[in-house]
Chains A and B, each alone.
Chain A
Amino acid sequence: MHMLEYFEAEKLLRIYGLSPIRSKYVSSAQEAASFSDGDEIVLKVLSDKAVHKSKAGLVIAGLKGEDEITRGYEELARKGKGFAPFRIIAQDMAKKGTEIIIGGKIDGQFGSMIMVGLGGIYVEAFKDVSLRVCPITEYDAMQMLDDLRSRDIITGGGEYKNMIIDLLMKVSRMFGEAGLKELDLNPVIVRKGGYDIVDIRMVK
Chain B
Amino acid sequence: MIKRRFNLKPILKPRSVAIIGASRDPEKVGHVILQNYLDSGYSGKLYPVNKNAEDVSGLKAYKSVLDIKAQIDLAVVAVPAEAVPTVLEECGKAHVKGAVVVSGGFAEIGRDDLQERIVRIADKYGIAMIGPNCLGVMDPRSRIDTLFLPTYKLSRPKIGGVSFVSQSGAVGSTVLDLISNEGFGLSKFISYGNAAQIDETDILHYLMDDDETKVIIMYIEGIKRGKEFIELAKRLTRKKPVIVLKGGVTSEGSIAAHSHTAAMAGSAEAYDAVFRQFGFVVARDLSELMWFAKAFDTENLPEGDRIAVITNGGGAGVLVTDKISMYGLRLAEFSEAAEKEIKGTFSKLVAAKNPLDLVGDAGEKRYSQAMSIIQNEKNVDMIIAIVLFQTPGADSKVAAAMIHYKTIIEKPMIVISIGADYTEVHKKMMESSGLPVYDSPAAAVASLRELLKYAKYRKHADNAGISGKG
Contacts and interface: CB of A to CB of B under 8 A. Distances in A.
Nearest to B227: A111
B158 to A, nearest CB: 36
A131 B275 CA distance: 11
Interface in A96-141: 107-111, 113, 129-133, 136-137, 139-140
A202 B460 CA distance: 33
B226 interface: yes
B276 A133 contact: no
Given A137-B464, A139-B460, A109 B273 contact: no
B232 to A, nearest CB: 13
Contacts of A131: 269-270, 272-273
A198 to B, nearest CB: 25
Contacts of A132: 273, 277
Contacts, number: 43
Interface string B264-289: 10110111111011000000000000
The secondary structure that dominates the B interface is helix
A162 interface: no
B223 interface: yes
A113 B269 CA distance: 11
Say which size band chain B's interface belongs to. 10 to 19
A107 B226 contact: yes
A24 B113 CA distance: 57
A110 B276 contact: no
A130 B222 CA distance: 20
Given A130-B273, A132-B273, A133-B230, A109 B264 contact: yes
A110 B464 contact: no
B464 A133 contact: no
A133 B277 contact: yes
Contact of A133 (B222, B267, B273): B273
B37 to A, nearest CB: 38
25 contacts: A107-B266, A108-B264, A108-B266, A109-B222, A109-B223, A109-B264, A109-B266, A109-B270, A110-B226, A110-B227, A110-B266, A110-B270, A110-B274, A111-B226, A113-B273, A130-B273, A131-B272, A131-B273, A132-B277, A133-B273, A133-B277, A139-B460, A140-B277, A143-B277, A147-B276
Q: Which 5 A-B pairs have the closest CB atoms?
A: A109-B226, A131-B273, A109-B266, A110-B226, A107-B270
Interface of B: 222-223, 226-227, 230, 264, 266-267, 269-274, 276-277, 460, 464
